[in-house]
Chains A and B, each alone.
Chain A
Amino acid sequence: DIQMTQSPSTLSALVGDRVTITCRASQSVGPWLAWYQQKPGKAPKLLIYEAYNLESGVPSRFSGSGSETDFTLTISTLQPDDFATYYCQQYFSYWTFGQGTKVEIK
């Protein structure tokens, strides 16, 4: 089974900060990686697919990069609406999520 490890688990930031979340796969998953945003009491929302493709309607301040085993989600300028938990997910072999990164107000 492919394991996904995100870091950090929690991130404290200010509005306007540049935020980076990393995700590492236990084996190569190619470009087959997605990122999601989840707010309390809500279903997750797809942000990025195939490592760097922005889902329709997602603000351009979100971007993804990486391939094989190492991936990054970047929020260029953190907005108040961005405080949430973020998950990576590989879909090279079935589907496995990372444990999540909570972005909280500093």
Chain B
Amino acid sequence: EVQLVESGGGLTRPGGSLRLSCAASGVTVSRNHMTWVRQAPGKGLDWVAVIYSDGRTYYVDSVRGRFTISRDTSENTLYLQMDSLGAEDTALYYCGSLKDTIGGPPGGMDVWGQGTTVAVSS
């Protein structure tokens, strides 16, 4: 069974840091394009970061320079290191894998975790 399980969320103060983890089973993190998406309370979905199977990483403008996406092949785990957190980063964070597209860009998120909640407040 393919499964992604996020952890590491919690409450932190503005300016603080958190590291989110996404433990994978049934999917190999290093062989797939993996991504983080977040959803603020009562709001829609926002893409945050991606790490391609070849190791390239990309970020949405609002987190570039503050967040770092990475993976551990031996642990088959995806990470999101989040620094300089602000209230605007408060959200439920989902990890996911992207469908490979033949002759096209990495596609929709076909596997999702259950999410981990990040709250930033003084």
| A binding-site residues for B, Cβ under 8 Å | 1, 30-32, 34, 36, 38, 43-46, 48-50, 55, 87, 89, 91-92, 94-100
Give the residue name and chain of the B residue nearest to A47 (CB). Answer: B108
Give the residue name and chain of the A residue nearest to B47 (CB). Answer: A95
A contact face: mostly helix, strand, loop, or mixed: loop
* Bound complex: CA A96 to CA B58 (Å): 13
A99 touches B44 (CB 8 A): yes
B95 nearest CB across to chain A (Å): 10
Give the residue name and chain of the A residue nearest to B48 (CB). Answer: A95
B45 touches A97 (CB 8 A): yes
In the complex, the number of residue pairs spanning A and B with C-beta atoms less than 8 Å apart equals: 66
A100 touches B44 (CB 8 A): yes
B71 on interface, CB distance cutoff 8 Å:
no
* Bound complex: CA A43 to CA B50 (Å): 18
B16 on interface, CB distance cutoff 8 Å:
no
Residues 91-122 of B at the A interface (beta carbon under 8 Å): 94, 98-99, 101, 104-110, 112-115
Interface size range of chain B in the complex: 20 to 34
| B binding-site residues for A, Cβ under 8 Å | 35, 37, 44-47, 50, 58, 60-61, 94, 98-99, 101, 104-110, 112-115
Give the residue name and chain of the A residue nearest to B110 (CB). Answer: A46
| 23 A-B residue pairs with CB within 8 Å | A32-B104, A32-B105, A34-B108, A38-B45, A43-B94, A44-B94, A44-B109, A44-B112, A45-B112, A46-B99, A46-B108, A46-B110, A48-B108, A49-B99, A49-B107, A49-B110, A55-B108, A89-B109, A91-B106, A95-B35, A95-B47, A96-B47, A100-B44
